[in-house]
């Protein structure tokens, strides 16, 4: 369902209004021109001219409306698909935060507490195994937090692609300890479709995660 308040819904509404109002106005104009045509031509020729103009105009108008409505419909479907994708990302981000991120955070703290127990600290091998598990939980928790940040950040439409990337790289540098900078050799802001921007952000996020 396309929201009528969205730009796509507004465009479709305007096209429907044009499709409804234009034919009566056009026919009324031809009716007004009929006396002028009959004054310069005989009645039969005037009717032929009017009929030809009407048929040609109807064909052009129909084809134009068909193309315009098709493009507007495709744009509305794309906007609806993108909106559904962003809502799904928001749902995934909430679920990750409420489940996996919290579990990994608690597991890391519990393992650190176990590592500090005298019985565990006395056994070097056991202590090392527990420390390794704690480190794995910490790294996994960091990955999940970065994924949540990326999913939420990608939903913001008030920021450009470079703003998204600069913010993510700043967070990545702070949390990973890997000095990272963004160099964009562009004279103006990149004009990409929203779904393409999201894919670019996710590719860079995955690459930086692999590097870390």
**pLDDT tens for each residue of 170-199:** 878 877 788 888 888 877 767 777 667 777
- Tell me which range, 30-44, 162-176, 183-197, is most confidently predicted by mean pLDDT: 162-176
* Residue 152 confidence (pLDDT): 67
For residue 20, what pLDDT is reported?
A: 66
**DSSP symbol at 116:** T
pLDDT of residue 1: 47
Do the Cβ atoms of 2 and 9 come closer than 8 Å?
yes
pLDDT band at 159; cut points 50, 70, 90: low
75-105 pLDDT, tens digit per residue, is 777 777 767 766 776 777 777 777 788 888 8
Mean pLDDT lowest for which of 1-5, 54-58, 141-145? Answer: 1-5
Does this model's pTM top 0.85?
A: no
Radius of gyration of the chain (CA): 32
pLDDT of residue 113: 92
Contact 80, 88 (CB under 8 A): no
What average pLDDT does the structure give for the chain? 76
pLDDT tens, 103-123?
888 898 999 999 899 888 888
14, 16, 18, 21: CA torsion to nearest 10: -130
**How far is Cα 93 from Cα 11, in angstroms, rounded to an integer?**
32
Phi/psi for 39 (5° steps) reads -75, -30
C-alpha separations of 139 from 62, 136, 154, 176, 205 in Å? 60, 5, 22, 9, 15
How much of the chain exceeds pLDDT 90, in percent? Answer: 3
């Amino acid at each position: 369902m396309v929201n009528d308040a969205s730009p796509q819904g507004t465009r479709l509404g305007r096209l429907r209004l044009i499709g409804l109002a234009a034919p009566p106005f056009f026919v009324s104009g031809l009716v007004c021109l009929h006396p002028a045509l009959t004054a310069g031509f005989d009645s039969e020729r005037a009717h032929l001219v009017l009929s030809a103009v009407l048929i040609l105009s109807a064909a052009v108008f129909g084809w134009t409306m068909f193309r315009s409505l098709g493009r507007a419909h495709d744009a509305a479907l794309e906007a609806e698909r993108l909106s559904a994708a962003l809502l799904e990302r928001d749902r995934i981000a909430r679920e990750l935060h409420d489940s996996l991120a919290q579990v990994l955070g608690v597991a890391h703290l519990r393992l650190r507490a176990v590592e500090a127990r005298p019985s565990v600290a006395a056994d070097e091998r056991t202590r090392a195994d527990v420390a390794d598990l704690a480190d794995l939980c910490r790294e996994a928790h960091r990955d999940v937090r970065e994924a949540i940040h990326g999913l939420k950040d990608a939903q913001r439409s008030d920021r450009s692609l470079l703003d998204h990337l600069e913010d993510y790289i700043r967070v990545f540098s702070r949390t990973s300890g890997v000095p990272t900078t963004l160099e964009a050799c562009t004279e103006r802001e990149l004009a990409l479709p929203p779904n393409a921007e999201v894919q670019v952000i996710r590719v860079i996020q995955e690459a930086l995660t692999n590097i870390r």
